[in-house]
A = this chain, B = another copy of it.
Amino acid sequence: MAKKTAIQPTRSEDYPSWYQQVIKAADMAENSDVRGCMVIKPWGYAIWENMQAALDRMFKETGHENAYFPLFIPLRFLEKEAEHVDGFAKECAVVTHHRLEPGPDGGLVPAGKLEEPLIVRPTSETIIGSSFARWIQSYRDLPLKINQWANVVRWELRTRMFLRTSEFLWQEGHTAHATKEEALEETRLMLDVYADFAENWMAMPVIKGEKTDGERFPGAESTLTIEAMMQDRKALQSGTSHFLGQNFAKAQEIKYQDTNGEEVHAWTTSWGLSTRMVGALIMTHSDDDGLVLPPRLAPKHVVISPIYKSDSDRGQILDYCKQIENALAEKSFHGDPVKVMIDDRDMRGGEKKWFHVKRGVPIRLEVGPRDIADHKVFMSRRDTGENQSIDKNEFIAEAVNILANIQNNLYERALKLQKENTVRIDSLDEFKAYFTAKDSNKPEIHGGFAMSHWCEDPAVYKVLEELKVTIRCVPFDEPEENGVCIFTGKPSTKRAVFGKAY
């Protein structure tokens, strides 16, 4: 008989439903009454706040400053860059009126029609570019390196919490440079920052590479990406960094006087990472008992549950818990105090345990009268499920190491999955079999990553579309080698990563 799990269905039974249930069980978010928009609840938002804090520090350390630009973009701005507007016109929220007045049926109707419609920003290249054009006059004003934390809206028909919602939260970096080389360097630097964040904070291994022509950001000359593998072996694009060349600079007249006194166009970049990463975090580490959090992003590292039957025990046990909390608060885990919560709610022990299991708290401690007598605590690790009774002082001394060990274990586990499910494929038949084979025990599992030779021929994209497979990226660390495109037989010098994707 299968082990009873806290989340139903399990990952292997129905991965998409499992994902929704993990979010619900961890109380991270819910669908709202507004089409396509979600409510991010405190536990989910606290994870996003931790992500923001880590990234914001990294952006500042690499010389970027935060600023804030308007939510609304005048239609004529969006129209300036042709590819860009094509990319976003089909899914945007349009503001057409600026007040409400009583209508013929008594209810309120839009009134005060705007002369020019305003688009709720789907991304801010055009509106930020219009500021850059004012701010940049001379080579002395460059580089200009700005980041914005903001909400954006892309009208999505099929939404899934965190992964695809009409409104989402993100950061968008926008920079301008004097030379092409500097802009390319920045594009790559910020991709490296994202990869560092994914691997060292999220414990999520990623493949760094460049998007192919069909997958580029609308208006970009080149889009760099980090791609991660989820537990159903589908790919999730996790952060992108765009080299915009002079496209936006020309569309928006971002010009500067160079050292020779000549007026030339700047070179720009943009890069973004969103609340989608919370979805990636869930799908990378969680299990059939719910959320599993890497300690570096967990809102709480340790939860302590006092267990007592009488009021006379209560005081003594709470004191003991407090001692542990205070001792841990003096320990530093990556520069911050260990975050401890004592959960003294009146709730059955089992119920309380599962409450924190489902929310992914890395370490749980239980403290009862016997533990105090023996100077012990009963410790459980969320990542491995191991639990043991250990000496209180030993736990305090080891707590930071245990957290580091959990962080590392989650990364290694995810890396193993990625490596085991990435194969080099050199024939189209094998490629098709890889992406269509069904494992009847795991109906939601879709092949994995395939590394294959390819070429930029429409025939390639036709086959891929039929298979519902996409080229995730051309990875940086794949060596050049002579081969032939498995779709067309044309010569190829490099493999790309293929996968089904979110």
Contact = CB atoms under 8 A, between A and B. Distances in A.
A99 interface: yes
A417 interface: no
A85 B101 CA distance: 11
Contact of A37 (B72, B94, B120): B72
Contacts of A430: none
A167 B75 contact: no
Given A41-B67, A94-B98, A32 B131 contact: yes
A349 interface: no
B95 A90 contact: no
Nearest to A110: B94
A73 interface: yes
Given A75-B100, A79-B108, A155-B98, A37 B146 contact: no
Interface stretch (A8-16, A42-50, A176-184, A224-232): A42-50
A109 to B, nearest CB: 8
A433 interface: no
A93 B118 contact: yes
A435 to B, nearest CB: 32
15 contacts: A33-B74, A33-B127, A39-B67, A39-B68, A48-B68, A72-B167, A92-B100, A93-B97, A93-B98, A93-B118, A94-B96, A94-B97, A96-B97, A109-B117, A151-B151
Interface of A: 30, 32-34, 37-42, 45-46, 48-49, 65-75, 77-79, 85, 89-101, 107-110, 112, 117-120, 127, 130-131, 134, 146, 150-151, 153, 155, 167, 169
Ranked nearest first, the 7 interchain pairs of A and B with the lowest CB-CB distance are: A37-B70, A42-B65, A89-B100, A94-B97, A40-B68, A98-B155, A94-B110
